[in-house]
Amino acid sequence: MVHKHHVAGYDAFVAFMKDFNGNGGAINILFTGAKLENGLSWCGDCVDAAPYIEKAIETNAPENSHFIYVDVGDRPTWKDMNNPFRKDTNTHLSVIPTMIRWKQPQRLEGEQCGKADLLELFFSEDD
């Protein structure tokens, strides 16, 4: 079973990761725009990629791995070039959605997050 976690905002993300222990399981993180009242992200690319990502998690993510959903904020917060997610060397985001394997080279950005073959490869790569 994949363990899913949800975090909203940079400070909450940093605090969560500081104390987080994956117990040896892969730690995968999806950075996406905050949700609107309708439950969808304000980021159209994030909405488009979501069903592909969810299917890949169900079919390709390893047992006992972790998947952390991180809301980077509303549109004005994200568009600020000083957004801490952009500056942090552990995340270094330039586009959302972005999916990374924590402290590993695996990374998908933007439209790549909606491609089933790339998602399968992302989850099949070992640390």
Q: Is 46 a catalytic residue?
A: yes
- 8-63, pLDDT tens digit by residue? 999 999 999 998 887 778 899 999 999 999 999 999 999 999 999 999 999 988 88
Sorted by where each starts, the structural domains of the chain and their CATH numbers stand as 3-123 (3.40.30.10)
- 81-120, pLDDT tens digit by residue? 999 999 999 999 999 999 999 989 999 999 999 999 999 9
* Closest CA relative to residue 32, chosen from 121, 127, 114: 114
- Dist. CA 33–CA 126, nearest whole Å: 28
Q: Name the active-site residue from 29, 30, 43, 99.
A: 43
Q: Name the active-site residue from 46, 50, 68, 99.
A: 46
Asked if 48 and 115 touch (Cβ cutoff 8 Å), the reply is no
Q: Is 113 a catalytic residue?
A: no
What's the predicted TM-score (pTM) here?
0.93
